[in-house]
Amino acid sequence: MHKSGDLTPSCQRILVDGARRRLQKSLTSCALLLDARLSSANAASLRRGDQRPFSTLNSARNDTHSPIISARFANKKLPNAIIVGVKKGGTRAVLEFIRVHPDVRAAGTETHFFDRNYDRGLEWYRRLMPRTLESQITMEKTPSYFVTKETPRRISAMSQNTKLIVVVRDPVTRAISDYTQTLSKTPDLPSFQELAFRNQCLGIIDTSWNAIRIGLYALHLENWLRYFPLAQIHFVSGEHLITDPAGELARVQDFLGLKRIVTDKHFYFNRTKGFPCLKKPERSASPRCLGKSKGRTHVQIDRDAIEQLRDFYRPHNVKFYEMVGHDFRWE
């Protein structure tokens, strides 16, 4: 056996590093084993219908398990900020752009926790989140939240401090984008006009059609303001997001209390795509644009129908501008 005094400093370092690696390895396998045991215990508890809030479950764990386990579990946090809408507003772009920031980690897929999966409980939701350091914020995006009646109350029950981001876009263009997406999945869909109007000659809009209803931003916002102050909701212009992504991202970073790290240096305009793209997305060194379903060519809608929709939305838009204190200029 060596005595450390017999060895040169570089040999000592090699021995220390080796010991540290072995220790690290055995701690990791120990933690993985316990992690697996806890996962199955937790799955059993969820099968039993254990719907206790996360804080209760977590503190129960902390009572009985080692600091290694607490650390492993503590690093999946419930989101601090959520992009709650609007569908086809540019929500994917905002999430992909903001997650370039080193202090942001995000769930990749839409969780639909607060609208479709609420019964699964907060622990299920937390598990969908990425692991984060204490200094990092956790985010997710599910655009349907903005128009789901129960969502504001449910998010405020999780945390009244949750920061909310809404990407808004001209409701007429948004409706056409929404229709274009549905048509791509359902080719025998009735025409846009058939769905948008109860009576096109009389200019009567069918507000029960989701593609129309989602664009009534003032109406939906009223519901959010019952649970959150306006200052806790940040609105991104879907139009500016395309023409000036760095400008919009600067405001998003300010709102989230982050240093402005995502800047114009992160974007380039891809002429083939016709949209701004990232030079270096999260965890990748090569440039990337959003997928084919983002930035589709829209179905052509006749001018009269568009004018009628503009007339319909105008008072709703004005009300929305007044509520948020910003004119988005959808004319």
Ligand X SMILES: Nc1ncnc2c1ncn2[C@@H]1O[C@H](COP(=O)(O)OS(=O)(=O)O)[C@@H](OP(=O)(O)O)[C@H]1O
Q: In this complex, which beta carbon is closest to ligand X, that of residue 123 or of residue 142?
A: 142
| Shortest CB 227 distance to ligand X, Å | 23
CB 213 within 8 A of CB 147: yes
Is 92 marked as a binding-site residue?
Answer: yes
Q: In this complex, which beta carbon is closest to ligand X, that of residue 217 or of residue 275?
A: 275
| Shortest CB 235 distance to ligand X, Å | 14
Is 243 marked as a binding-site residue?
Answer: no
Is 72 marked as a binding-site residue?
Answer: no
Rule CB under 6 A: which residues touch ligand X? Answer: 87-93, 143, 177, 241-242, 275-276, 290, 294-296
Is 105 marked as a binding-site residue?
Answer: no
Q: In this complex, which beta carbon is closest to ligand X, that of residue 38 or of residue 236?
A: 236
Asked if 76 is an active-site residue, the reply is no
- Which among 240, 224, 270 has a CA at the least distance from the CA of 170? 240
Is 25 marked as a binding-site residue?
Answer: no
Is 279 marked as a binding-site residue?
Answer: no
Which residues, at least 6 apart from 73, have a Cβ–Cβ distance to it below 8 Å? 38, 58, 61
Q: How far is CA 149 from the centre of its chain?
A: 18
| Shortest CB 278 distance to ligand X, Å | 8
Q: In this complex, which beta carbon is closest to ligand X, that of residue 85 or of residue 152?
A: 85
| Shortest CB 88 distance to ligand X, Å | 5
How would you class 210 by CB atoms within 10 Å of its CB: exposed for 0-12, middle for 13-18, buried for 19 or more? middle
* Catalytic-role residue among 87, 88, 141, 163: 88
| Shortest CB 201 distance to ligand X, Å | 28
Q: In this complex, which beta carbon is closest to ligand X, that of residue 152 or of residue 276?
A: 276
Q: Catalytic residue positions? A: 88
Binding-site residue positions: 88-92, 169, 177, 294-298
Binding-site residue positions for 3'-phosphoadenylyl sulfate: 88-92, 169, 177, 294-298
